[in-house]
Structure 1
């Protein structure tokens, strides 16, 4: 399902780009839909690929660290070069196939107004992409369509992730270094969460909150696979963590699900947030992880709804009193063991 959504993203993106080229062709020349769409796609595709890190990812990361004025200037310069390259490639194809009955030099030449229009279209699309990445794909769509403008009751699963030893790391290495450490760790969560259909809802200090619709979380045990995928990603990069920060992150996880009230709140700053006992219980479960000494805990009610992935074992730890909850909570510890060949 996730792959289908990603494909739809690209389809909609390229349709928007091609549509802008068609509109420009009709406004400027009174026709030439195919030519306009082809130029637009080849001119904008390198910029979109650059923004997504498919080409020159190192350069993309470096300019993203620049101050905003420098980032805008350098970004526009790179965009202009990419537009010229894409325009030249698209023009060459149109010329070679006979669609454009003119000389090659004229076919690959981008006029100033065409360059400005293309950069403008790309800037709008990149801006929308960045806002969506800032908010999260699903949250961005929900805010646009106003899905939670009125509170909605729904079932969700929450995963709380807490970094062990963050305070001592900050005391030893300083706050700036600790923030760099946290930033790298939070970036590590992104791919596994996306891969397993979740959304990073919030960061609170050194903790992250991830959520799924209930049916998505229990399908193929997505919420559990996400946990061990994150751990595997960190373990794979163990040497890099040691080289950069002198330590490998140790994490605690808590997973729980149930009914919540979901609502869009705020006036100047809008946010989709979740209310109810389910969220509070997940937070308490994470605290219980520290007390019990198990890094991955899941409520037994949720565990019984799941088919555990291969290699993952569940150990029932009994009923435990949870602060703020009128009744005890059944708790299980999860661990992964190598699967026998």
Structure 2
């Protein structure tokens, strides 16, 4: 059974937490060994490292990181979604500190019982645990956990703000040098946005936009799309060409977003007095992708295909349709019984010498 795109994305957001905790745990261990040595050292509260203890500790640290990642992605992200960056970090540190103390309460006695080759309820185990809690070793472990927690939460907030895939591409240097690739683009624009903004006012309109983007995101994920930019009330969604035309994801994405938004129309009417709708233009072609910027780095796409897609979307009102796709994209799409293509004419797009044949989908 294949995993859904949403599940894959959730897993991909949780796994880095486990890796961050594991790598930092190994780093702290290496630093301690380098500073103190590998013999019988330190106070009686310290657990001597052995292969069994190392494996057990690695699994515990990895498990803690994954569990924190799961809580963060599935639950706490939503709970503190309206708080500032600093407030979120502070609240989460408090929540996780309580959790981590519980982990120590469970893991330390088990590790001691492994070292002493005895059962976990042996009085010697709990005497060592008490000695540990009142020692500097506890302070050291707490500092290490606090650092791991802060770094993993900082990663979570940064990846949430700039996008996990973009952050990964920055780390790997995938687009450090410009590359040419074929992509599908969808320019999606809210209908009558100026009128809606004037009716609601700036603050209320911003709240509507926030919910509007949230309601469209699941359909984008289900159809393997990537949000390239939010520009006011416009969303630019992109796919690598192969992924965009696989199962006609790019077209299915449009109708899935329409469906999801229609299901929420009653809520929008009760909350804002208006139900937002949108129109979209789709096109495909070659773009150059790379990092750019001196004061602020971004990964951007450049090429005529973006300008053409924007202008195709702008023709929706002219042809009185909600979706227009180019002939270039129509030729790439797979046969699909769910939707039909209908030619609506040819158009000379500004900045292009040749006319473009256009289609709508119903």
**Same-fold call, TM cutoff 0.5:** yes
Query: Which of these residues, 61, 77, 88, is aligned with residue 40 of structure 1?
Result: 61
Query: Which of these residues, 149, 159, 163, is aligned with residue 186 of structure 2?
Result: 159
- Equivalent residue runs for 1:16-165 within 5 Å: 16-24=20-28, 27=32, 29-31=47-49, 32-52=53-73, 54-55=74-75, 57=76, 60-88=77-105, 90=107, 102-103=125-126, 106=129, 111-165=138-192
**2:327 aligned with 1:304:** no
Unpaired stretches in structure 1, ≥5 consecutive residues: 336-341
Higher mean alpha-carbon deviation, 288-297 vs 316-325, is at 316-325
Alpha-carbon distance between aligned partners in 2 of 1:167 and 1:301, rounded to the nearest angstrom: 32
Q: Secondary structure at the match of 1:311?
A: coil
Query: Which structure's relative contact order is higher, taking Cα pairs within 8 Å and 6+ residues apart?
Result: 2
Higher mean alpha-carbon deviation, 168-177 vs 280-289, is at 168-177
Matching residue of 1:243: 270
Alpha-carbon distance between aligned partners in 1 of 2:27 and 2:178, rounded to the nearest angstrom: 40
Q: Secondary structure at the match of 1:210?
A: strand
Alpha-carbon distance between aligned partners in 1 of 2:246 and 2:311, rounded to the nearest angstrom: 25
Higher mean alpha-carbon deviation, 223-232 vs 34-43, is at 34-43
Q: Secondary structure at the match of 1:202?
A: strand
Alpha-carbon distance between aligned partners in 2 of 1:99 and 1:325, rounded to the nearest angstrom: 78
Q: Secondary structure at the match of 2:332?
A: coil
Alpha-carbon distance, 1:310 to partner: 4.1
* Cα deviations by residue, 1:84-117 (Å, 9 ceiling, x for unpaired): 2344455577689968672399399693332331
Higher mean alpha-carbon deviation, 286-295 vs 260-269, is at 260-269
Alpha-carbon distance between aligned partners in 2 of 1:17 and 1:74, rounded to the nearest angstrom: 20
* Cα deviations by residue, 1:130-167 (Å, 9 ceiling, x for unpaired): 22232223322222233323322221110111001211
Alpha-carbon distance between aligned partners in 2 of 1:71 and 1:126, rounded to the nearest angstrom: 9
Alpha-carbon distance between aligned partners in 2 of 1:238 and 1:96, rounded to the nearest angstrom: 59
Structure 2 length-normalised TM:
0.80
Q: Secondary structure at the match of 2:80?
A: helix
Checking the alignment, whether the CA contact within 8 Å between 1:314 and 1:334 is kept in structure 2 is yes
* Cα deviations by residue, 1:8-29 (Å, 9 ceiling, x for unpaired): 6645542442343455456375
Alpha-carbon distance between aligned partners in 1 of 2:215 and 2:8, rounded to the nearest angstrom: 23
Distance 1:149 1:72, change over 3 A: closer
* Cα deviations by residue, 1:40-90 (Å, 9 ceiling, x for unpaired): 2454344322320x23x5xx4343323444334323212212322344455
Checking the alignment, whether the CA contact within 8 Å between 2:178 and 2:289 is kept in structure 1 is yes
Checking the alignment, whether the CA contact within 8 Å between 2:348 and 2:355 is kept in structure 1 is yes
Alpha-carbon distance, 1:266 to partner: 0.3
Matching residue of 2:43: none
Alpha-carbon distance between aligned partners in 1 of 2:330 and 2:58, rounded to the nearest angstrom: 51
Alpha-carbon distance between aligned partners in 1 of 2:327 and 2:127, rounded to the nearest angstrom: 69
Checking the alignment, whether the CA contact within 8 Å between 1:320 and 1:329 is kept in structure 2 is yes
Matching residue of 2:288: 261
Matching residue of 2:37: none
Alpha-carbon distance between aligned partners in 1 of 2:160 and 2:307, rounded to the nearest angstrom: 27
Structure 1 length-normalised TM:
0.85
Alpha-carbon distance between aligned partners in 1 of 2:343 and 2:277, rounded to the nearest angstrom: 23
Checking the alignment, whether the CA contact within 8 Å between 2:185 and 2:282 is kept in structure 1 is yes
Alpha-carbon distance, 1:267 to partner: 0.8
Checking the alignment, whether the CA contact within 8 Å between 1:255 and 1:298 is kept in structure 2 is yes
Checking the alignment, whether the CA contact within 8 Å between 2:346 and 2:355 is kept in structure 1 is yes
* Cα deviations by residue, 1:146-195 (Å, 9 ceiling, x for unpaired): 33233222211101110012111111111011111111112223222223
